[in-house]
A and B are shown apart, each in its own frame.
Chain A
């Protein structure tokens, strides 16, 4: 990811729930530099979810997500 892609994603990671801010910040810090184009696109799509739905996905209380986004979700869950 270049600087611009990274910053766009970073701002999409600014949420209303602190829980998500923290997990997403941690994820971007660890993986941001090496994230593939397709993972970055998947993450960006996943970030369109409303805060509460996204949090339930991240903590594994829900699995309701498109199959294409399962890979990036698994990475977020492990983070």
Chain B
């Protein structure tokens, strides 16, 4: 017999990931009685810090921050709630030849370094930066707008389209040309137009494929490249950083802001069902059978879980469910988190140094990147993967015991669907070994300094973090799944076919990354509807 716990809420937010928390914070600040339900013992979803091994606090999944919308940092006053972003300086790409490419935030240094590979590219690099900023200026307002519905004749919607049209008109024809290409081309086709240095193109193209099952030569990846260029901290474009105390600190700061505004947050409170009565969401049933009621349910988990797991069959229109089934996840990446006794020693730049303080990218050539993708297409993890490594302990020693280090390795490709006969639980350690062997080709001492190793496969991301098919963005960032097509054509405005049920996770516009955009935009839409109802 299910017990109904007395209090009734205005809004129940399903999932205590960063978007769920942002959503709750905005709703609570507007005076709503909000309850956040998180399945795990810890908040943050994929933006989480966990002490996996004694003394070592890993940012288990997401490990750098860049896209977090500045208006959210401002509105929620996150610094006061303990958010501190430490800059991550530069990208270091070791090469098998013994050479390397090392870009840093210092413009002069980077210019000289690139010139060492190609004078032309050094010049083009500055131009490229300017062009990308122009693109970002066009795309940013779109990131903070509710997608229009092009299929209606509702003037309000058409105005939104017009707004975008006008902004496009406003650009110089040079910028238009770039914008169109960016929206449609492959990262490499796009970069080929600017640069000749292979290792530079390879490393830059990497941000175009992160979290997608696409290759650097796949059309549409140029856009994702921009998506990652949009990084903005304290108004400075393209700056990436760590949160002191690990990525989880971001979630904790947001949670703190939400609580201060009056939101109630429960962990280890996974839900089993969303209660729907004659087309209206009424509340949720917890895994333990408790029922909690609210006027509005806001789900930050992905559409597959929300609509096919938490909603009774037969409640939703078949056509809508068909579209949900079509929504593409296909996770393509994994993580290997290492607890180290000392620092890795790179052949091409021995000893410690500033090159270890930024991102270290294993992306030596375009062909290397594309071949890594080819393996994944046929259901294998890349024999030689793209790896993005950071050593947060050099910037924030607090996350490891004195003198020890943490190295976080983002690995692509690790396709969720392995070829028939293979499964991730069997492949897990082989996958981890393969990553270590790859790193060892550049930093041979790596094998001797590993104290502990945590391997996170796409299957782990699905099971432990509730990311369907292990997609870190809650669904691929491919053109046909963006803006007014995300997550489902006709349902990009955070509402769902079920009245009072909303979506507020990365599966909605503007999508994945620690951005908070979906949580905020969804909150604003929900508040609109409250007003409408009142």
Instruction: Tell me whether A and B are bound partners.
Output: no
- Chain B residues in the interface with A (C-beta under 8 A): none
- Chain A residues in the interface with B (C-beta under 8 A): none
